[in-house]
């Protein structure tokens, strides 16, 4: 794979992550807990 193609795919991946984060925020699917609290909550389910 050429490096230009890799960079293109990486940019798409980052744009997708940003889109998903914005969707989560708009739908109140996020946590204001600190990292330790959040991880504890994730693994207690």
Q: Which of 34, 13, 32 has its CA nearest to residue 24? A: 32
At a CB cut-off of 8 Å and minimum separation 6, what does 7 contact? none
pLDDT for 41: 85
- Percent of the chain residues topping a pLDDT of 90: 78
Whether the model pTM is above 0.75:
no
Q: Is 31 left (phi over 0), alpha (psi -120 to 50) or beta?
A: beta
26-44 pLDDT, tens per residue? 999 987 889 999 889 889 9
Q: Across all residues in the chain, what is the average pLDDT?
A: 94
Domain boundaries, the chain: 3-43
């Amino acid at each position: 794979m050429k490096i230009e193609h890799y960079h293109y795919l990486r940019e798409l991946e980052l744009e997708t992550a940003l889109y998903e984060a914005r969707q989560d925020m708009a739908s109140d699917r996020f946590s204001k807990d600190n990292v330790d609290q959040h991880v504890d909550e994730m693994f207690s389910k």
